[in-house]
Amino acid sequence: MLEKSFFYQQILREGEQRGEARGILSGIELGLELKFASEGLQLMPKISQISDLERLKAIQQAIKTVNTVDELKQII
């Protein structure tokens, strides 16, 4: 019965979104470190404040195509 309650479902969705956000942030951090070393990692405090999953996914994808940290800053 509890599994069908609105509040339970809402809490479950929020937990899933937080977990997904953490995974994306972890991927972003790895990408920044591999591509830009410590200069890229300096962006993590700002990126970590973003809670919109779509925006985080866009940043993660942008790491593949940008050539400089400054280019990435424009996307953030």
The tens place of each residue's pLDDT in the chain, 76 residues long, gives 666 788 888 888 888 889 999 999 999 999 999 999 999 999 999 999 998 999 999 999 999 999 999 999 999 8
Distance of CA 2 to the CA centre of its chain: 31
Instruction: Tell me what pLDDT residue 8 has.
Output: 81
CA distance 56 to 21: 8
Judged on CB neighbours under 10 Å (0-12, 13-18, 19+), 21 is middle
Q: How many DSSP H helices and E strands does the chain contain?
A: 4, 0
The pTM assigned to this predicted structure is 0.83
Instruction: Tell me what pLDDT residue 73 has.
Output: 94
Q: Which two tokens stand for residue 14?
A: 């929020």
Q: Which two tokens stand for residue 49?
A: 């404040």
